[in-house]
A = this chain, B = another copy of it.
Amino acid sequence: MSTINSTINKQLTPVSFTEVKLDDVFWAPRIETNRLNTIPAEYKMCEDTGRVAAFDLKWKQGDPNPPHIFWDSDIGKWIEAASYSLATHPDPALDALIDTVIAKIAAAQQPDGYLNTHYTQVEPHARWSNLRDCHELYCAGHLIEAAVAHYQATGKSSLLNILRRYADTIDQTFGVEEGKKRGYCGHEEIELSLVKLYHATGEQRYLNLAKYFIDERGCQPYYYDQEAHARGDDPAKFWALNYSYMQAHTPVREQREVTGHAVRAMYLYCAMADLANETGDLELLSACESLWEDLCLKRMYLTGGIGPSASNEGFTTHYDLPDLTAYAETCAAVGLVFWNHRLLQFEGNGKYADVMEKALYNGTISGVSLDGQRFFYENPLASTGKHHRKGWFDCACCPPNIARMIASVGEYMYSQGDEDAWVHLYAQGQARLTVGGKKLTVQQQTRYPWDGTVDFKITPEQAFAFGLHLRIPGWCQRFELCVNGTPVDSASLSVNGYVKINRVWQAGDSIKLVLDMPVQFVVAHPNVQQMAGRVAVQRGPVIYCLEGVDHIQAPLDDIVARADVPASDQFTHEFQPDLLGGVVVLRGKGMLSPKLNWDNSLYQFIPHLSQQQTPVPLTLVPYYAWDNRAPGEMRVWIRTL
């Protein structure tokens, strides 16, 4: 019932990615690769696997390759990604292709508004009979997100109208009112999509329906029990044993511990933040804050990957963060970005931006190859050499998820309010903001994340006073700030991870922010057993790794880092434009010390340097870029003993 503030302090509104033009060294090329390679490749896979044709409703019982329960969501996410791309880069061919797909979707919609290729063709009499397992509302949610994205990108309401009809059908089917099912989806997604639909249409009932799905979730008696009995199934035979798998074990606003399937959790928490934002629901915000602490202080990989376990694609116990077997699904890291971006808007607390940035530069984009055409589902922090990206997956949630995130990455960079502007992330380009109804442009000139210097030009349409918040990332321990050439004592201005510069801004104003960006060794909390005695290497927001291709001398597990010497004193950093799409490479020395064999001992002597340890040159490359050269080993966490 309590939260940090007695009322929700919602000061920030994201600046749409359509107002953010990037021409930076990092994201702009990725957006282009996403547009040119990823989005077309994913469409081809959707076509080749029957996902597009499924909307033709030509599948008959006995045919091979029945439309799968997930398929509609892949099309939805692909349309969403393609629409975001259209929004910043007009492309008549892509526009037309989307229209073709939308025409198929329109044709597949049933007279009552229902829209699901699996149920309509494969199980026509089983609609809404297994919300727990069968992703019906999840697919609807992704189609709704697609429809809103398409409408906002193109102004066309073709897909939006289809999904409004479907949402109305869903609204008539689910709710607390007499005659309606009191169900909710086993895989959250519909909730956050309905908030988006509410915004796109102004229809309050979509927000109400989102709120119903949130509030009904986890109430007893459990809907999934009743639903199972109605199907003739024994609910005790639910494979995941417990509804905490889908965060439905207890009412949502009472949840304080992150449980179950990681992607489901993220999408639920996004919707909770959305509703807190829309309705001022302090309980939901307070739950989000507790869940954030549970997740980000006890369950998150250094890369922003989350959900260590393959068995439930999700969470286990506190501090259980194995590197080699990390599941850390791409979608879950993407969801972590979505959720932290939402939480960031309440008070502009940099801790949310820190997590968002961590995931953006590491655990999300590791999910796609540099050529944009191969994908990781799992993003472990170590590999014996057998983990490689693939062109597609039967369960293909990750490829279009990373595509939609990259296409809209500008969305995460700025916020605006009545009296303030915020810069959350640094990337060369310019953004148009509106503060208190007045327009301004913020230009950034920087080579971030490879260099910590950012030169700003602030250009309001007319001079006016506002507070400009510049984020000081959590990884940055020292920085300098000048406004119009004059050093600013920024320590006094810092709050919650931002410096706030209050002044009457006028055209021509400039700021120079220099974030000290040394190479640093990272250690994990002592409770993270698997990483005890290991260090990782970070520079700026980028987490580095060792790859086998750079270390043919020995297995990576035989390499020991010299953690007693500061990383900045032993590693050089150099931007190599020709390597891995252009990255800063770190070079230094470690020691070669064969890993001890523990078969018959509880204690062992450390082998003598002179006898068994020899210096070995180390090359560290950004984690996100691994597995883009010769296949081999990888590890983020390096032994120190």
Contacts and interface: CB of A to CB of B under 8 A. Distances in A.
Contact of A640 (B521, B566, B601, B640): B640
B568 A602 contact: no
A363 B534 CA distance: 30
A524 B602 contact: yes
Interface string A276-312: 0000000000000000000011101010000000000
B568 A608 contact: yes
A523 B300 contact: no
A65 interface: no
Given A523-B604, A524-B602, A609 B533 contact: no
Interface in A618-641: 640-641
A604 B531 CA distance: 13
A76 B298 CA distance: 53
A600 B297 contact: yes
Given A523-B641, A640-B533, A565 B609 contact: yes
A604 B609 CA distance: 28
Interface string A584-609: 00000001000010101111111011
A64 interface: no
Interface string A523-534: 111101100111
B609 A569 contact: yes
Given A526-B598, A564-B560, A603 B533 contact: no
B602 A298 contact: yes
A492 to B, nearest CB: 22
Given A562-B564, A591-B564, A525 B601 contact: yes
Contacts of A640: 533, 563-564, 640-641
Given A302-B603, A602-B300, A603-B302, A532 B535 contact: no
A476 to B, nearest CB: 10
Contact of A605 (B300, B521, B526, B610): B521
A604 B565 CA distance: 16
A604 B522 contact: yes
Contacts of A300: 602
Greatest chain B CB density within 10 A among A532, A538, A596, A600 is at A532
B523 A297 contact: no
A526 B595 CA distance: 11
Contacts of A605: 475, 477, 520-523, 538
Given A297-B601, A525-B598, A598-B526, A608 B533 contact: no
A603 B298 CA distance: 10
A534 B603 CA distance: 12
Nearest to A591: B564
Contacts of A534: 533
Given A533-B641, A641-B535, A523 B603 contact: yes
Contacts of A524: 602-603
Interface in A551-572: 560, 562-569
A516 to B, nearest CB: 11
Interface string A171-212: 000000000000000000000000000000000000000000
Nearest to A528: B602
Contacts of A475: 605
A591 B564 CA distance: 8
Number of identical protomers: 2
A603 B525 contact: yes
A472 to B, nearest CB: 15
Contacts of A523: 596, 603-606, 641
Given A532-B529, A564-B591, A641-B640, A606 B298 contact: no
Interface string A344-387: 00000000000000000000000000000000000000000000
Greatest chain B CB density within 10 A among A564, A568, A569 is at A564
B302 A606 contact: no
Contacts of A609: 564-566, 569
Contacts of A522: 603-606
Interface in A320-345: none
Given A522-B604, A532-B532, A641-B523, A564 B564 contact: yes
A536 B641 CA distance: 12
Contacts of A526: 598
A538 to B, nearest CB: 7
Interface string A393-419: 000000000000000000000000000
A641 B563 contact: yes
Given A560-B564, A563-B641, A598-B525, A520 B297 contact: no
Interface in A239-271: none
A534 B606 CA distance: 11
Nearest to A319: B602
Given A640-B640, A640-B641, A606 B521 contact: yes
A124 B517 CA distance: 80
A526 B525 CA distance: 16
A74 to B, nearest CB: 33
Nearest to A536: B603
B532 A606 contact: no
Given A532-B532, A641-B563, A520 B606 contact: yes
B602 A525 contact: yes
A603 B534 CA distance: 12
18 contacts: A297-B600, A297-B601, A297-B602, A477-B605, A520-B606, A521-B606, A522-B606, A523-B604, A524-B602, A525-B601, A528-B602, A532-B533, A533-B533, A536-B603, A538-B605, A564-B613, A565-B609, A569-B609
Q: Which 7 interchain pairs have the tightest Cβ spacing?
A: A532-B532, A533-B533, A521-B606, A520-B605, A566-B608, A566-B609, A532-B533
